[in-house]
Chains A and B, each alone.
Chain A
Amino acid sequence: MTAAIRAEGLVKRFGPTTALAGVDLAVEQGTVLGVLGPNGAGKTTAVRILATLLRADEGHAEVGGYDVHREAAAVRRLIGVTGQYASVDEDLSANENLMMIGRLLGFSRRAARARGAELLERFELTEAANRALRGYSGGMRRRLDLAASLVGRPAVLYLDEPTTGLDPHSRNQVWAMVRDLLADGVTVLLTTQYLEEADQLADRITVIDKGRVAADGRPDELKRQTGGQTLQLLPHDPQDAEKAARILADLTGSAPGRNTDTGLLTVPVEDPVVLSAVVRRLDDAGILADELALRLPSLDEVFLALTGHASEEAAA
């Protein structure tokens, strides 16, 4: 397999701040790389460099074999960018935006119109095609951003936090659309703050922290390092906490952590089947639970496991 995107030793400083302190990235053709990290980790800076919007201070990056700085024009023929900074024009309708991009890409008027209509249809925006964008919901806006980045049928697509701030329904829609693109053979670099998103979409995940790569691997490999899922239990009666903790320790083999403010008990779980056993044992002991759930490790937990320190956001 050939690498569609290859970056080596990217360094970028903004005044006294070092946004990237030597980042390597590689994405094989036709696959999805999830770049995972908290706000300020350097994800967007890396994407902007790969999208020819920003010049790295040090290091080297190629897209489709073209140097992002010296051969930027060729790189721009290959890429599509969806991010909050590469926006559509709010004064134009969806239709006008897509038409304009098509024309800028050298399509004839007729071809630009046809391509726009096709994308609006695919992203379920046909009805709103001629409406002002100010009336668009967050999900519609994100779908249009995605459509706008696909006008030129890019071989490489950057999705910079495509679902941040979206409700779960819109998020699922965006995910479904990304999966469709993969079926077309597009290479995708996806940045996200959500482990679940990377898990759902990515073939490989690179975790970035403070401008450096903290971990890199397949999602299942990383998850094994982070200890799988977490079981949460909030006993109805705080007096039962002791007893409930003993049951959890018994079934999972590790002592649960206890939040002193809320009384919430959390414990890492290897096998989700343990949940039904927990329910049975609590029932037998007559302990009522206000909350009982299994969840994936949060980004903070991933960070803790992979880097040995909490993410800045959790610390703040």
Chain B
Amino acid sequence: MTTLSAPSTLSPRRVSPAATLRAGVTLAGRSIIRIRKNPESLVDVTLQPIIFLLMFVYIFGGAIAGDTHEYMQFLVPGLAVQNTVFASMGIGVALNTDITKGVFDRFRTLPIARSAPLIGAVFGDVVRYVLAVGWLLVFAAILGFRVQTGFGPLLLAIVLLVAFALCMCWITVFVGLLVRSPNAVQGLMMIVVFPLTFGSNVFANPATMPGWLRAWADVNPISKISEVSRGLLVGGPVAGPLGYAALWMVGLVAVFFPLAMWAYRRRVS
């Protein structure tokens, strides 16, 4: 305890990738404990989709599709996308809260990799994404939604939606590291998420929209991944929209991952 030399086997400058990964897993475990302790933090992925589902299917469903059951088959695959996108917004708020409350600085005084807290937050978030998709599909099934394809495509749909959310989450990581308060993160992300999810083909066919909105809805990444989700859950083209969606995913990561890293380094240096 009195000796002042660090163990000589360890490099004074770098932390090994294995140690980084292990710290990431420990911190992901922390995220999961937090979810267990604050089930209310899951409201955005549990209660909100139920309200959306009930509201759209039973209030607007008849008017939009002429039949609530048919509308549900159309809506649920897209709503699953919206739900994972909402879930991916939580990480920005969580990171910002850690920074404002000083938990982040505690981690930064520990001999772990600079990136470990971020890796942990992202790992932990995957649990939220899986819960978000899974819960929506279970609740929809209770209301009468039926997967028309099979178990394989269902599993693939879940994996793709989680992967999509992992690409989207860098937007909110970036915002979460940039702004001052957790509330500001939430407010800003709403401005991003609503035009993305409503200006898409999730709730209605873009063919009925005015030209400018239709143009946006047609290229919107949410529309593309929703088409993939529909194809995999109730049948329809998959490969075409998946190509577009993959391009979007690569693009989102290419833009927002470096921005998030820049903001992260700014916050931790």
A residues apposed to B, CB below 8 Å: 2, 4, 29-30, 51-53, 55, 64-66, 70-74, 76-81, 83-92, 96, 100-101, 103-106, 132, 148, 152-153, 155-156, 184-187
Residues of B within 8 A of A51 (CB): 109
Complex Cα spacing A174 to B42, Å = 38
The B interface, classified by DSSP as helix, strand, loop or mixed, is loop
Apart from A100-B27, A104-B110, what are 19 other A-B pairs with CB-CB below 8 Å? A53-B108, A66-B6, A70-B13, A73-B11, A74-B10, A76-B109, A77-B111, A78-B6, A83-B102, A84-B102, A86-B102, A86-B105, A87-B102, A91-B37, A92-B33, A100-B29, A101-B106, A105-B111, A155-B4
Residues of B within 8 A of A106 (CB): 19, 22
Q: Which of B194-245 contact A (CB under 8 A)?
A: none
B6 touches A29 (CB 8 A): no
Query: Which one, B2, B109, B112, B116, contacts A53 given CB within 8 A?
Result: B109
B91-123 vs A, CB cutoff 8 Å, 1 = contact: the mask equals 000000000011101111111100010000000
B6 touches A74 (CB 8 A): yes
Residues of B within 8 A of A29 (CB): 2, 4
Query: Which one, B10, B103, B105, B109, contacts A89 given CB within 8 A?
Result: B103
B1 touches A186 (CB 8 A): yes
Query: Which one, B2, B7, B10, B30, contacts A100 given CB within 8 A?
Result: B30
B residues apposed to A, CB below 8 Å: 1-7, 10-15, 19, 22-23, 26-27, 29-30, 33-34, 37-38, 101-103, 105-112, 116, 269
Closest to B113 in A: A73
A52 touches B30 (CB 8 A): no
B103 touches A66 (CB 8 A): no
Residues of B within 8 A of A71 (CB): 12-13
Residues of B within 8 A of A96 (CB): 30, 33
Closest to B107 in A: A104
CB distance from B99 to the nearest CB of A (A): 10
Residues of B within 8 A of A104 (CB): 23, 26-27, 107, 110, 112, 116
Complex Cα spacing A213 to B241, Å = 66
Query: Which one, A55, A90, A155, contacts B269 given CB within 8 A?
Result: A55
B2 touches A81 (CB 8 A): no
Residues of A within 8 A of B110 (CB): 76, 101, 104-105, 152
Closest to B5 in A: A64
B105 touches A92 (CB 8 A): no
Residues of B within 8 A of A66 (CB): 6, 12
A76 touches B111 (CB 8 A): yes
CB contact under 8 A between A64 and B101, given known A70-B13, A81-B109, A155-B1: no
Interface centre among A91, A132, A155, A185 (most CB of B within 10 A): A91
Give me 30 A-to-B residue pairs in the complex whose CB atoms sit less than 8 angstroms apart, sorted by A's number. A29-B4, A30-B2, A51-B109, A53-B105, A53-B108, A53-B109, A55-B269, A66-B6, A72-B13, A73-B13, A77-B7, A78-B4, A79-B109, A80-B109, A89-B30, A90-B101, A91-B34, A92-B34, A100-B27, A100-B30, A104-B27, A104-B107, A104-B110, A105-B110, A106-B22, A148-B106, A152-B111, A156-B4, A186-B2, A187-B4
CB distance from B21 to the nearest CB of A (A): 12
Closest to A151 in B: B110
Closest to A5 in B: B4
Closest to B106 in A: A86
CB distance from A272 to the nearest CB of B (A): 37
A155 touches B2 (CB 8 A): yes
B1 touches A153 (CB 8 A): yes
The 9 closest A-B pairs by CB, nearest first: A87-B102, A74-B12, A185-B2, A64-B4, A76-B111, A71-B12, A77-B6, A81-B109, A85-B102
CB contact under 8 A between A73 and B2, given known A84-B102, A88-B103: no
B38 touches A91 (CB 8 A): yes
Residues of A within 8 A of B34 (CB): 89, 91-92
CB distance from A220 to the nearest CB of B (A): 26
Residues of A within 8 A of B22 (CB): 106
Complex Cα spacing A86 to B101, Å = 8
